Chains A and B, each alone.
Chain A
Amino acid sequence: GQQLNQSPQSMFIQEGEDVSMNCTSSSIFNTWLWYKQDPGEGPVLLIALYKAGELTSNGRLTAQFGITRKDSFLNISASIPSDVGIYFCAGQRIQGAQKLVFGQGTRLTINP
Chain B
Amino acid sequence: NAGVTQTPKFQVLKTGQSMTLQCAQDMNHEYMSWYRQDPGMGLRLIHYSVGAGITDQGEVPNGYNVSRSTTEDFPLRLLSAAPSQTSVYFCASSYLAGGVETQYFGPGTRLLVL
Contact = CB atoms under 8 A, between A and B. Distances in A.
Contact of A42 (B41, B90, B96): B90
Given A1-B59, A48-B100, A104-B41, A96 B105 contact: no
Chain B contact residues: over half helix, strand or loop, or mixed?
strand
Interface size class of B (residues with CB under 8 A): 20 to 34
A80 to B, nearest CB: 23
A104 B42 contact: yes
B24 to A, nearest CB: 14
Contact of A97 (B42, B48, B99): B48
B43 interface: yes
A50 B98 CA distance: 10
Interface in A1-30: 1, 3-4, 6, 9
18 contacts: A1-B44, A4-B42, A35-B105, A42-B4, A42-B105, A42-B106, A43-B43, A48-B100, A88-B42, A90-B43, A92-B101, A95-B99, A96-B48, A97-B58, A97-B103, A98-B58, A102-B35, A102-B42
Given A88-B42, A102-B43, A103-B42, 20 more contacts: A6-B42, A40-B108, A42-B4, A42-B90, A42-B108, A43-B90, A44-B105, A48-B100, A48-B102, A90-B43, A95-B96, A96-B101, A97-B45, A97-B50, A97-B58, A98-B45, A100-B33, A100-B103, A104-B41, A105-B42
